Amino acid sequence: MDDILQVNERLRGLIWGAPMLILLLGTGLYFTAVTGVFQVRYCMLWLRKTLFSCFTGAARRTSGGVSPFAAMCTALAATVGTGNIAGVATALTLGGPGAVFWLWVSAFVGMMTAFAENTLGMLYRERGADGSWRGGAMLYLKNGLHSPLLAGAFALFCVLASFGIGNMSQCNSIAQGLSGSFGIPSGIVGTVTAVLLGAVLLGGLKRLSRVTETLVPFMALFYMGGAVVVLWVYRAALPQAFAQICSMAFDMRAGTGGVLGYGMTQAVRAGVSRGVFSNEAGLGSSVMVHAAADAKEPCEQGMWAVFEVFFDTIVMCSVTAFVILTSGVYDVSRYALASGTPLLSQLTTGAQLTAEAFSTVFGRFGRGFVAVSLALFAFSTLLGWSYYGQRAAAYLMGERVIPVYKAAFLLAAVAGCMMRLEPVWALSDTFNGLMALPNLAGVLALRRQVIAEWCRYKRNL
């Protein structure tokens, strides 16, 4: 096992090194440029087609399938997870306040990566035997790029990632949070988690989407409500926190003992990698659920993916960052910059830092608030990734494998609550990166289809 972990450590360092970060940012920058800075120029358009349509009922209309809003909620269920609470704190400890600036940059360009991959997902989706839509990065890799090898590799890495970052690591976060704050035994947490998860999985995508339609808005409002209270208490410190973020984003020596360039490098690396961990733009994971939406316009479903990244990172992650920076619990001398590639297992420390920030206002209830929020976010990630894993497994082995996959997923959830998972965290980071490589290759190779579809849609506005 030690040999496997050593090989994984080297592989993970290569995958999440500078070339991957450049590829992620570069892909988003390319689609930002060719669409005329869509995120800004067409801001009111994508907000009208997504957020504002929720108030008119248009987003929930469906002819029997999954509505665009439900698809977005299911994708958000997977992305709004431990990264929004603990991942932001981890970025701060690894890269300083400047990491938040690069978190924003990665999200800004990631909005267009998400738009491109989900537009492609809609263009290359297929009808299943039951009449429902099926899609995913593996379909545009197979049918668009004509590469069954890359499609199969993506699906395999997705299945493996679904048991790691999408299951066992999330369950471990739930168990640690509830056990540490309320003394609930891990075995009970694991059993209850598996029962609740099983009840949702038995109902298929329609039940899953109905649950996420309710759970995602509730948990987001719950966490945001608590965060707004903290920010109101420390509102006088908000300008200073914002200035810290902007000034230290380009600080060549911040926290590094004077090593020229190291501070900025760590800020970029921590911000971009934690941004991807949080919003998953570029991984190709959300394509599977967006492609299942009962929507006619590929670009409009792509806009839901844009909103998804915006809400997950620009809104949710920013709130966590400002809570930590304004509350006074963040101390550069205490949380020194770390060298090397950050391990996902450092999220445990991140959750503790976030809990400290909330405790400055809510006292002993602060840790409980963060524990409950973390449990809700992690459970929602379980729901979203369970669907991703099902579709990837079905692509590799056919629809008959889905019941077997569901059973294995439930067993993994119980195990995740009761095991030490440092190796799982490390392997999950690797599998996430391995998903991104074939997906980004496909998105860039099929860029003309994305541009042509956007031009067609724009002409009809």
416-434 residue pLDDT tens: 888 766 666 667 778 888 8
Those residues with Cβ within 8 angstroms of residue 339's Cβ, 6 or more apart along the chain or in another chain: 266
Per domain, the residue ranges of the chain are: 2-459
Q: What is the pLDDT of residue 226?
A: 94
Q: What is the pLDDT of residue 269?
A: 61
Q: What is the pLDDT of residue 337?
A: 40
Question: Which of 3.90.1580.10, 1.10.760.10, 1.20.1740.10, 3.40.640.10 would CATH assign to domain 2-459?
Answer: 1.20.1740.10
72 and 307 in contact (C-beta within 8 Å)?
yes
Those residues with Cβ within 8 angstroms of residue 90's Cβ, 6 or more apart along the chain or in another chain: 270, 274, 342, 346, 347, 349, 350
Q: What is the pLDDT of residue 61?
A: 54
Nearest to 168 by CA among 418, 422, 427, 413: 413
Q: What is the pLDDT of residue 425?
A: 67
Distance CA 45, CA 76 (A): 20
Segments in 96-185 forming alpha helices (H): 98-123, 137-139, 148-163, 169-182
Q: What is the pLDDT of residue 173?
A: 81
Those residues with Cβ within 8 angstroms of residue 137's Cβ, 6 or more apart along the chain or in another chain: 117, 121, 151, 154, 284, 287, 288, 438, 439, 442
Q: What is the pLDDT of residue 270?
A: 60
What token pair was written down for 411?
């067993």
Residue 134 phi, psi dihedral angles, 5° rounding: -130, 135
Residue with tokens 């909005």: 111
353 and 335 in contact (C-beta within 8 Å)?
yes
The DSSP H or E segment spanning 348 is helix 347-362
Residue with tokens 């608030």: 369
Q: What is the pLDDT of residue 340?
A: 39
Q: What is the pLDDT of residue 335?
A: 46
For the whole prediction, is pTM greater than 0.85? Answer: yes
Residues of the chain with pLDDT under 70: 1-5, 55-65, 251-278, 331-350, 420-426
